[in-house]
Amino acid sequence: MTQPLCRIASVQMVSGPDVDANLAEAGRLIAEAAAAGAQLVALPEYFPLITADETAKVRIREQDDGSGPIQAFLRETARQHKVWLIGGSCPMEASVPDKVKNSTLVYDDEGRRVARYDKIHLFGFRKGDEYYDESATIEAGNEVVSFEGPCGRVGLSICYDLRFPEFFRAMGTVDLIVLPAAFTYTTGKAHWEMLLRARAVENQCYVLASAQGGKHPSGRRTWGDSMIIDPWGEVLARLPEGPGVVVADLDPARIADVRASLPALQHRKIG
């Protein structure tokens, strides 16, 4: 029996320092994706907050008990629009008082939380005056996470994880990889598309990348270029910069055809 298409959507944002304003913008874009028929919608990394004050996310971190305005927003918005909603990344309580877990939270179309992934690989970069050290305010996770959704098996990742192919192999066989991100302009321009397409080709699955994309009030510039890629590495849809929604259909028959014609996953000898 032919499996039906599943419409997926990537939300791109240019988040600022006002959490309420960011949630309102995310809500507007989720509604747009739902109106386009999306069954699964992914928000970008740091969708609730991007600011020059790296400690601000610590002050708004939430406990892992379902309380807090960010979790309430995700739960209620998923239920309202009847979509599976992947909350790009949210600042969650860590084991130390001055850090957060950078966490992807997933809610089904009834508003029930079905998965949580804590970012494992923490970004560090220095080039001239440009400097980032996520480990200063973020506590790394340690568990690879996937879940069964409306489009098959979904593997969760965040931003810098993209550079570690062994991480995606550890997911096992998945139909869709979701990667929320806030790639810097410098690294995004150099590597973003090639790495995303490589992960799709290597794992013979769809990749949905939802990014921050533009000039933020803090002065930071993120690369953007949210996109959806098929298992052959073809870019189906993309948005170079600015807030918006990217929509495409995940076709299970396309996954099956690629894996049948080039059974690379079966030919693996290591891992």
Query: Hey, which residues are catalytic here?
Result: 45, 119, 159
Residue 168 three-state SS: helix
- The one-letter code for the residue type at 103 is S
Any idea of the CA torsion for 126, 127, 131, 134, to the nearest 10 degrees?
-40
> 133-140 long-range contacts, Cβ below 8 Å, gap at least 24?
134/102, 134/160, 136/54, 137/54, 137/55, 137/57, 137/58, 137/98, 137/99, 137/100, 138/94, 138/99, 138/100, 138/101, 138/102, 139/94, 139/95, 139/96, 139/99, 139/100, 139/101
